[in-house]
A and B are shown apart, each in its own frame.
Chain A
Amino acid sequence: MAVLIYTQNYDGKFKKSTFELVTYGAAAAKELGTETVAVTTGKLDDTVLKELGKYGASKVISITNAELNDFSAQAYASAIEQVAKNVNADLIVFGNNPYGRAVAPRLSVKLNAGLAAGVVALPASTSPFTVKKRAYSGKAFADVIIKSDIKIVSLNQNSYKVKENPVDITTEEFSAEIPDGAYTVKPIEVIKSSGKLSVTDAEILVSGGRGLKGPENWGMLEEMAEILGAGTSCSRPVSDLDWRPHEEHVGQTGKVVAPNLYIAIGISGAIQHLAGVNGSKIMVVINTDPDAPFFEAADYGIIGDAFEVVPKLNEAFKKFKEEN
């Protein structure tokens, strides 16, 4: 028996979100009394693979087929299924990210395994297997029981803290059988985004709303993001008006984020927006309207004009960064 964790690498490296998954998987394995095994695709340096041992994985299996350099939900699901059967996995952990969302449902059918997507905590009980997940787009949570022998969960980013828990780790290579027709969907190219911090990876987000009156006024937000090492995001109207790119839209129908710090500037805080950001650890709102609903949800607020407050705040952040 084993907990199998799908650990995606990005250009040969793992990200913090991968370590969250391994920490989570190792803790779940402890509850279940089983082994913690990570599975990845591609040929990675041994030192990179062994990093996973720091977070509790006792084995990492690399699927080395060259085909998998290109993504295909079918090929990935099939390769991971083969590994899951080899290690006799009873719990499979994915990240609730584009790859997890594409692959986990296919694996669920292959293994007749119940899938809970967007979980936010360790299983509350292992028998029956009960786990808490996000529901109603961040407006609520739900306990889900998975009744099948094999269970699959996908973990929301930033909902489980990375913890070092070093164990001895062995590495293993595996060559999977890739089914015919797995690449009917042909990858043509990857359009890289601007190279900035993605909204889901950022630990701090500086977010702007319609209160900023126009795209030309984003300079001061970008400056704040620069000072804090933060990403920038925006509300739906801002992306609908094309003031900012779609990938920056956070909210119920945009990206769901959970940074340590979310700074909302000129965003009133409609229920749909809050649903996408209320997983943030700390929220700050800057708004001229004291009745803006965001003040109900935020931890700290400044009632004032963003055009006056933000430049002053930038100076204060800059001074703080110089001193700390």
Chain B
Amino acid sequence: MKALICIGHVPDTTSKIKFTDSNTKFDTTDIKYVIGPYEELALTRLLDLKDAGIEMHITAVTVGPVDTEPTIRKALAMGADNAIRINAEPTDDLFTAKQIAEVYKNGDFDVIITGKESIDYNGSQMEGMIAEFLGLPSISGASKFEIEGDKAKLEQEIEGGNLVLETSFPFVVSAGKGFCPEPEPRIPNMRGIMMARKKPLQVTEPVAQDAVTEVTQFYLPEAKPACKIVNPDNVEELVRLLHEEAKVI
């Protein structure tokens, strides 16, 4: 099986978020970049399936300028076989999805996997857009991913439960929590890092697609007033505050 996995280059989840240039740009000072957590989950799942004996070739792809290369190299060090970087800023979702669709057309892939959402822009639209560009089926936020012969079995969360799905290849899926049942972090060892340097990383230029969205301004949430501390021996006071002051019970 040939899998194309989209890797996002995002601030580490523990990052404190700040902005510069009158809140128009993300402040990258002291920010550590990582593979998006959902993409890492998806890659781990593919590697687990490979370890379990399923024949698998994994191509990692990212849309980003040259400073995203350490992130895609990490995907190689974790175990992806080759990597492609499309040399452009991924600022508009339709633009980014179009680039991935183009990579698919030039390859011979059975499945495209993305993360459920990027933890920076929180777009959660890649899998649907890529699939629509290619006329492929899409499954959004899958919480299970099994391969059974020439079929895949997936689960998708819906209101009030989980939908169990079966599909033939090819298709596009975004990985949510549960995609990898027992995610053991694959921390690249020295050998993995050395090997990653020798694995192919191809850089290509983007194809045309007009951007239709633009972020103009960021805001941080408003600071909350200080927490009111209630004495543990007087819990009735908390009940009173929630009822009379906050009016939430």
Q: Do B122 and A135 have beta carbons less than 8 Å apart?
A: yes
Interface residues of B in 71-102 (CB under 8 A from A): 92-94, 97
**With an 8 A cutoff between CB atoms, is A89 at the interface?**
no
Q: B213–A140 contact, CB under 8 A? A: no
Contact call B13/A253, Cβ cutoff below 8 A? yes
Known: A73-B138, A73-B140, A109-B132. A144 touches B232 (CB 8 A): no
- Closest chain B CB from A299 CB (angstroms): 6
Residues of chain B with a CB closer than 8 A to A109's CB: 94, 97, 128-129, 132-133
CB atoms of A185 and B164 under 8 A apart = no
A167 at the interface (CB under 8 A from B): no
CB contacts under 8 Å to B, within A270-324, are 270-272, 278, 281-282, 284-285, 295-305, 308-309, 312-313, 316-317, 319-320, 324
CB distance A142 to B215 under 8 Å? yes
> Which of these, A260, A272, A302, contacts B229 with CB under 8 Å?
A302
A105's nearest neighbour on chain B, judged by CB, is B128
Stretch of B52-60, B61-69, B151-159 with 4 or more beta carbons under 8 angstroms from chain A: B151-159
Mark B132-145 against chain A: 1 for CB-CB distance below 8 A, else 0: 11000111110100
Is A66's CB within 8 Å of the partner chain B?
no
A301 near B167 (CB under 8 angstroms)? no
**How many B residues are at the interface, by size bracket?**
35 or more
CA distance A300 to B133 in the complex (A): 49
List residues of chain B with CB under 8 Å of any chain A CB.
11, 13-17, 19, 37-38, 92-94, 97, 119-129, 131-133, 137-141, 143, 153, 155-168, 171, 177-178, 211-221, 224-225, 227-232, 235-236, 238-239, 241-243, 246, 248-249
Name A275's closest neighbour in chain B (CB-CB): B13
Partner of A103, one of B19, B128, B178, B218: B128
A83-105 contacts to B, CB under 8 A, are 96-99, 101-105
| 11 contacts across the A-B interface (CB closer than 8 A) | A103-B128, A106-B138, A108-B93, A109-B129, A115-B125, A137-B13, A184-B167, A185-B139, A193-B161, A252-B13, A309-B232
Decide if A140 touches B219 in the complex (CB within 8 Å).
Answer: yes
Task: Compute how far the CA of A284 lies from the CA of B229 in the bound complex, rounded to whole angstroms.
Answer: 10
Q: Are A137 and B128 in contact (CB under 8 A)?
A: no
Contact B249 A204 (CB under 8 A): yes
Contacts of B241 in A (CB 8 A): 300
| Smallest beta-carbon distance A91→chain B, Å | 14
**In contact, B94 and A313 (Cβ under 8 angstroms):** no
Least distance between B216 CB and chain A CB atoms (Å): 5
* B113 shortest CB reach to chain A, Å: 15
- Contacting pair B214 A147 (CB below 8 A): yes
Q: How distant is the Cα of A71 from the Cα of B160 in the complex, in angstroms?
A: 14
Residue pair A10, B132 in contact (C-beta under 8 Å):
no
Q: Does residue A164 face the partner (Cβ distance < 8 Å to B)? A: no
Inter-chain CA distance A36–B194, complex, in Å, is: 59
Max chain B CB contacts within 10 Å: which of A135, A190, A271?
Answer: A135
Across the interface, which residues of A come within 8 angstroms of B214, CB to CB?
144-145, 147
Cα A96 to Cα B139 in complex, Å, equals 16
Chain B residues closer than 8 Å to A184, beta-carbon distance: 137, 167-168, 171
Residues of A within 8 A of B (CB): 8, 10, 71-74, 77, 96-99, 101-106, 108-110, 112-118, 130, 132-148, 181, 184-193, 198, 204, 228, 246-247, 249, 252-254, 260-261, 270-272, 278, 281-282, 284-285, 295-305, 308-309, 312-313, 316-317, 319-320, 324
How far is B23's CA from A136's CA once the two chains are assembled, in angstroms? 14
Beta-carbon contact of B215 and A144 below 8 Å: yes
**Are B238 and A102 interface neighbours, CB within 8 A?**
no
How many Å from the CB of B28 to the closest CB on chain A? 13
Instruction: Please indicate the chain B residues that have their CB under 8 angstroms from the CB of A270 in the complex.
Output: 14
Query: Cβ of A193: which chain B residues have Cβ within 8 Å of it?
Result: 160-162
Could you list 4 further interchain pairs (A-B, Cβ under 8 angstroms) beyond the known A10-B160, A299-B227? A117-B123, A139-B17, A270-B14, A300-B229
Q: Which residues of the other chain, A, contact B155 by a CB distance below 8 angstroms? A: 191
What 4 pairs across the A-B complex have the smallest Cβ distances?
A: A105-B128, A304-B232, A114-B212, A105-B125
With both chains docked as a complex, state the minimum distance between the C-beta of B235 and any C-beta of chain A, in angstroms.
5
How far is A114 from B238 in the complex, measured between Cα atoms in Å?
46
Interface pair B164/A191, CB less than 8 Å apart: yes
Chain A residues, CB < 8 A from B159: 8, 10, 97-99, 198
**A228 and B158 form a contact (CB under 8 A):** no
Bound-complex Cα distance A96 to B116 (A) = 13
| Contact status A301-B137, CB under 8 Å | no
Q: Once the chains are docked, how many angstroms separate the CA of A193 from the CA of B197?
A: 46
A residues within 8 A CB of B37?
A: 253
Contacts of B216 in A (CB 8 A): 130, 143-145
Alpha-carbon distance between A148 and B177 when the two chains are bound, in angstroms? 33
Contact B122 A98 (CB under 8 A): no
Could you tell me the distance between the alpha carbons of A317 and B120 in the complex, rounded to whole angstroms?
A: 39
Contact A102 B242 (CB under 8 A): no
B229 / chain A contacts, CB cutoff of 8 Å: 295, 300-303
Q: How far is the CB of A98 from chain B (nearest CB, A)?
A: 5
